[in-house]
Amino acid sequence: MLSLLIFLPLAPAVVLVAGRRIPDRVARWIWLVASLLELGLAGAMWIDYAGHYDGTELAYETDFDWIPAAGVGYHIGVDGLSLPLVVLTAVVFASCAVYAMREQRRPRQLAALFLALETVSIGLFAALDLIVFFLFFDLSLVGMYFVIAGWGHRATATRSAFKFFLYTFLGSLALLVGFIGLYVAADPHTFDMIELTEQLPLADTGLGGGLVLLAVGVGLAIKTPTFPFHTWLPPAHTDAPAIGSAVLAAVMLKMGTYGFVRIAMPMLPDSWRQWAWAIVAIGVVSVLYGALVALAQSNFKRMIAYTSVNHMGYILLALGAAGLVADSDVEARAVAVTGAVTQMVSHGLITAALFLLAGVLLSHGGTYEMDHYGGLARTTPRFAGLTAIAAFASLGLPGFSGFIAEFQIFAGSLGPATWATALALLGILITAGLFLWALHRIFLGPPKDELSHIADTTVTQTAAIAPLLALSVLIGVYPRVLLDVVDPASRMVVELVAR
């Protein structure tokens, strides 16, 4: 069933690539129907899983030999860590398909590309074999390269796509080197994640484990991205189309953070504990740096891009704190990890919404520069309302998923990493300030020039964005739907790290 979920979008993608005669309108509908079908399937899987399994159990597992001579198997399955991200992926892709119902530029190819990307993204979160994980990881880069290069807005799109690909590919190869290190150290040699988690091939090797963690960590940190590996992100986002940015930020950044919980922490617990303070430090620097640079932006989309660096920093802070075993109780660290996973889902929903809103701003107003707008609240009430909700959600106001996530991160990290958490709290303050200032510049005050009379969000745009925010509110008001699945899985991760 999981394989079906992974490869379902691929079939319409192949049809769309092969059928050169398919009219644009039909292509868009195929895309929409396939995405909604996928969403339904993922939702059904979620309900089934939440009803029958505890978050620590693997479900829908498939495992057969793929390249036995190299210890590679097609091993997939989901548990409380990956299932929320699988469902998030389906949600974000479906909302992108809705948003793109008005897309005029080569919708057939775009639909095929996005459906293929959906397969790749869901496959990555379901992978339980390092090579399968890497395969999807690399293919996601190829897909996103073409999204940015092919549908980017400005003349610099090709350059940005180039930079994105080179940079993240460097990360993926660092990751591969780390994977090979794990493979070679394991006995018998294997790439299977479950076996590697049980075996702990690099336990007590000191330097060896540290170097492999360094390779894996750099690879994931580039993808996440954290300071100082984030430089590919702003140009990629600025030049990507709205739905490309949404997928890049909401889904693909999670590939990095998910890798930390799925691969780095359980397979290299010794080294993780040993270097936890460094991870905490990188997290805090990302939080503050991302927030401060975002504050300095005049470009709405770049600002959102930098807040991603900030939000990903919180996740790293929590995961690092979970490794500071010495002076904290299990309970607090489990709360931190739960917060981190919740933050992945929450950031996915909110940032996807924000990037789609940035797309509305560009398509209706022609620029992302906030200084060109003003007083939009009167002329575009729906746009203003949605943006305000998304901004408040993003800065972590209670009632939204972001609050649940950040509250747990801070509550869980405060014990193990007191000073770092206190510093990171400043990040909340800065993001609150920058979002309010952005809202102020765009929506309040007198209109600046003729650009201020832009059209409001269309029905399809609203239909794409509103559900994302509704889900964020649902998690914010009734977090148990998510936490019941995530919490046991987080405890498992904390136990694995403490080994």
Q: Footprint of another protein on this chain (CB under 8 A)? A: 20, 65-70, 72, 131, 134-135, 138-139, 142, 146, 149-150, 158, 161-162, 165-166, 169-170, 173-174, 176-177, 180-181, 183-184, 189
Measured in degrees and rounded to the nearest 5, phi and psi for residue 177 equal -60, -45
Give the shortest CB-82-to-another protein separation in angstroms. Answer: 20
Instruction: Note whether 157 and 167 are within 8 A (CB).
Output: no
Q: How far is the C-alpha of 227 from the C-alpha of 139, rounded, in Å?
A: 24
Give the shortest CB-180-to-another protein separation in angstroms. Answer: 5
Compare residues 168 and 413 and give the one whose CB is closer to another protein: 168
The number of angstroms, rounded, from the C-alpha of 237 to the middle of its chain's C-alpha atoms is 14
Give the shortest CB-134-to-another protein separation in angstroms. Answer: 6
Compare residues 162 and 407 and give the one whose CB is closer to another protein: 162
Give the shortest CB-213-to-another protein separation in angstroms. Answer: 14
Inter-CA distances, 186 with 189, 267, 278, 389, Å:
5, 11, 26, 49
Compare residues 191 and 300 and give the one whose CB is closer to another protein: 191
Compare residues 67 and 429 and give the one whose CB is closer to another protein: 67
Give the shortest CB-186-to-another protein separation in angstroms. Answer: 11
Compare residues 207 and 326 and give the one whose CB is closer to another protein: 207
Give the shortest CB-102-to-another protein separation in angstroms. Answer: 20
Residue 225: asked if its preceding bond is cis (omega within 30°), the reply is yes
Give the shortest CB-413-to-another protein separation in angstroms. Answer: 33
Instruction: Note whether 491 and 412 are within 8 A (CB).
Output: no
Compare residues 241 and 374 and give the one whose CB is closer to another protein: 241
Q: How far is the C-alpha of 220 from the C-alpha of 465, rounded, in Å?
A: 29
Give the shortest CB-215-to-another protein separation in angstroms. Answer: 8
Compare residues 166 and 459 and give the one whose CB is closer to another protein: 166
Compare residues 177 and 473 and give the one whose CB is closer to another protein: 177
Q: 101-104 contacts: CB < 8 A, separation 24 or more?
A: 101/28, 101/32, 101/460, 102/458, 102/460, 103/28, 104/24
Pairing of strands 72-78, 59-67: antiparallel
Compare residues 172 and 257 and give the one whose CB is closer to another protein: 172
Q: Which residue has the tokens 């299990």?
A: 330
Give the shortest CB-184-to-another protein separation in angstroms. Answer: 5
Compare residues 139 and 432 and give the one whose CB is closer to another protein: 139
Give the shortest CB-203-to-another protein separation in angstroms. Answer: 18
Give the shortest CB-108-to-another protein separation in angstroms. Answer: 12
Q: Which two tokens stand for residue 273?
A: 């504990």
Q: How far is the C-alpha of 127 from the C-alpha of 139, rounded, in Å?
A: 14
Instruction: Note whether 490 and 334 are within 8 A (CB).
Output: yes
